[in-house]
């Protein structure tokens, strides 16, 4: 959640930054109006409370002096009713302000470029040179069928479209990739964690998936539980409503989970193959950081994900997302896009984001900063999406006869 005090203090600057991210000015004006309404309600309640305290002191004076207290008692009782009404007005104003604030995205960093969509993103650099093929490379679903690694039709039979079943080396490679990525992340200082695949509404509100993206989540009927869209949600919310000692920061974590998304906002996109599935495996990086160190940790996370791709000998590029392509909770994001020769293009395989205080404010994650409590910074990113990494291995390592070579770093994990 954005800092509402900052909005009140400098409305013009904050609103300009939010407009860069596509927030409607009318919604920002409504946020300001509700913020001022709550401020007035609090001031009115405090005035009435002060009056009540003053009259209570008069009671003691009246009694000591033997004065008649009947009129004073009538005023006190009447003020109690007004105080109760004022408190309810304040409660309603607070709830209305929070409801609007929860729908407002994070403020982009000043160095994030303006842009409408992914076409305005800025390439930072390319890593490794794509292989030149002496034949026309196939797309991964053709290779999957030819090698018997992935069966999309049986996935539909078991569930519905955008589910798949991995067999033989396809299944073994998924497991090998998960173990390799977790080991790699641990070598970079990220502690391994195993988390639930179900979380409650509060957790999803904390990281920003709710209330805005409820249509994209799988909900358990008659319960306030949801299948996780990413391990970012449970990992970050491990510290929900906690005050951490500054010396414990940063907390750097990695986890493997299955992830579940309806992909409601991506209807018609990538309907073939494994690029956009309803269930997929992912290894995640999450960091809880002191504000002064979050940029440094952000760079570490980008480097970690890039180095995994390099170790797998997969050509990729780093891309700075523009304001129009930035996620709801992100202040800054660098995407890693892997080269897919079958599609003759780079495709996203990881997004590394710094959310600054945004998630911490929603999830109430603080640290002891001297005598006061301050908000931490939270960061998250994929290292990596397992299915998309398997796709990249298949397409980049395919041979003319359709067979696929195995990256050297994975061979120990396969007993080869």
The confidence score (pLDDT) of residue 364 equals: 97
Nearest-angstrom CA–CA distance, 169 and 406: 10
The confidence score (pLDDT) of residue 381 equals: 98
**Is 142 assigned to a binding site?**
no
The confidence score (pLDDT) of residue 268 equals: 60
Contact of 200 with 227, CB cutoff 8 Å: no
**Is 348 assigned to a binding site?**
yes
Reading the chain (416 residues) residue by residue, the pLDDT tens digits are 899 888 888 989 999 999 999 999 999 999 999 999 999 999 999 999 999 899 888 877 887 888 888 888 888 889 999 999 999 999 999 999 999 999 999 999 999 999 999 999 999 999 999 999 999 999 999 999 999 999 999 999 999 999 999 999 999 999 999 999 999 999 999 999 999 999 999 999 999 999 999 999 999 999 999 999 999 999 999 999 999 999 999 999 999 999 999 986 555 667 688 889 999 999 999 999 999 999 999 999 999 999 999 999 999 999 999 999 999 999 999 999 999 999 999 999 999 999 999 999 999 999 998 889 999 999 999 999 999 999 999 999 999 999 999 999 999 999 99
**Is 80 assigned to a binding site?**
no
The confidence score (pLDDT) of residue 73 equals: 83
**Is 380 assigned to a binding site?**
yes
Nearest-angstrom CA–CA distance, 283 and 272: 23
Kindly tell me the sign of the dihedral angle through the C-alpha atoms of 105, 110, 115, 118.
negative
The confidence score (pLDDT) of residue 334 equals: 98
Contact of 231 with 202, CB cutoff 8 Å: no
**Is 352 assigned to a binding site?**
no
Which of 38, 295, 33, 274 is CA-nearest to residue 170? 274
Counting Cα atoms < 13 Å in the Cβ hemisphere of 19 gives 10
Domains and CATH numbers, the chain: 4-101 (1.10.287.40), 118-414 (3.30.930.10)
The confidence score (pLDDT) of residue 69 equals: 82
3-state class percentages of the chain: helix first, strand second, coil last, to nearest 5: 45, 20, 30
**Is 179 assigned to a binding site?**
no
What are the residue ranges of helices labelled H in 312-355?
A: none
Token reading at 169: 């080396």
Positions annotated as catalytic residues are 261, 276, 348, 351, 388
Contact of 217 with 204, CB cutoff 8 Å: yes
**Is 232 assigned to a binding site?**
yes
- How far CA 357 is from CA of 230, 241, 289, in Å, comes to 20, 14, 10
The confidence score (pLDDT) of residue 267 equals: 59
Query: Which helix or strand (DSSP H or E) is residue 175 part of?
Result: helix 168-187
**Is 313 assigned to a binding site?**
no
Nearest-angstrom CA–CA distance, 80 and 292: 47
Which of 316, 318, 383 is CA-nearest to residue 345? 316
Q: How many other C-beta atoms lie within 10 A of the C-beta of residue 194?
A: 9
Nearest-angstrom CA–CA distance, 131 and 3: 48
Q: What pTM does this model have?
A: 0.91
Query: At which residue do the structure tokens 């996620």 appear?
Result: 327
Chain centroid offset of residue 223 CA:
23
**Is 40 assigned to a binding site?**
no
**Is 351 assigned to a binding site?**
yes
**Is 100 assigned to a binding site?**
no
Q: Is 311 helix (H, G, I), strand (E, B) or coil?
A: helix
């Amino acid at each position: 959640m954005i800092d509402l005090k900052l909005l009140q203090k400098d409305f013009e600057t904050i609103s300009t930054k939010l407009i860069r991210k596509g927030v409607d000015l009318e919604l920002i004006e409504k946020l300001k109006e509700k913020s001022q309404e709550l401020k007035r309600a609090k001031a009115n309640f405090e005035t009435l409370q002060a009056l009540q305290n003053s009259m209570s002191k008069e009671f003691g004076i009246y009694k000591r002096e033997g004065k008649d207290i009947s009129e004073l008692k009538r005023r006190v009782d009447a003020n109690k009713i007004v105080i109760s009404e004022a408190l309810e007005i304040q409660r309603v104003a607070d709830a209305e302000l929070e409801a609007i604030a929860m729908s407002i995205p994070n403020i982009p960093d000043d160095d994030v470029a303006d842009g409408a969509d992914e076409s305005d993103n800025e390439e930072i650099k390319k890593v490794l040179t794509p292989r030149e093929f002496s034949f026309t490379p196939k797309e991964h679903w053709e290779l999957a069928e030819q090698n018997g690694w992935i069966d999309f039709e049986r996935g539909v039979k078991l569930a519905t479209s955008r589910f798949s079943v991995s067999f033989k080396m396809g299944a073994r490679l998924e497991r090998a990739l998960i173990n390799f990525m977790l080991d790699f992340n641990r070598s970079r200082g990220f502690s391994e964690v195993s988390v639930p695949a179900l979380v409650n509404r509060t957790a999803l509100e904390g990281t920003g998936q709710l209330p805005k993206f409820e249509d994209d989540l799988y909900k358990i009927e008659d319960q306030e539980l949801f299948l996780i869209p990413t391990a970012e949600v449970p990992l970050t919310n491990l510290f929900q409503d906690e005050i951490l000692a500054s010396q414990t920061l940063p907390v750097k974590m990695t986890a493997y989970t299955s992830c579940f998304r309806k992909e409601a906002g991506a209807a018609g996109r990538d309907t073939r193959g494994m690029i956009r599935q309803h269930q997929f495996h992912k290894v995640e990086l999450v960091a809880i950081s002191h504000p002064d160190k979050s940029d440094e940790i952000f760079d570490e996370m980008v480097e970690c994900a890039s180095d995994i791709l390099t170790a797998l000998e997969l050509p990729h590029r780093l891309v700075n997302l523009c304001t129009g392509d930035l996620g709801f909770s992100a202040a800054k994001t660098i995407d890693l896009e892997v080269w897919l020769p079958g599609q003759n293009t780079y495709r996203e395989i990881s997004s590394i984001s710094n959310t600054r205080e945004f998630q911490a404010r929603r999830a109430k994650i603080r640290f002891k900063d001297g005598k006061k409590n301050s908000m931490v910074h939270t960061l998250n990113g994929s290292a990596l999406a397992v299915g998309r990494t398997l796709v990249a291995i298949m397409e980049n390592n395919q041979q003319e006869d359709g067979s696929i070579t195995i990256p050297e770093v994975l061979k120990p994990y396969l007993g080869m």
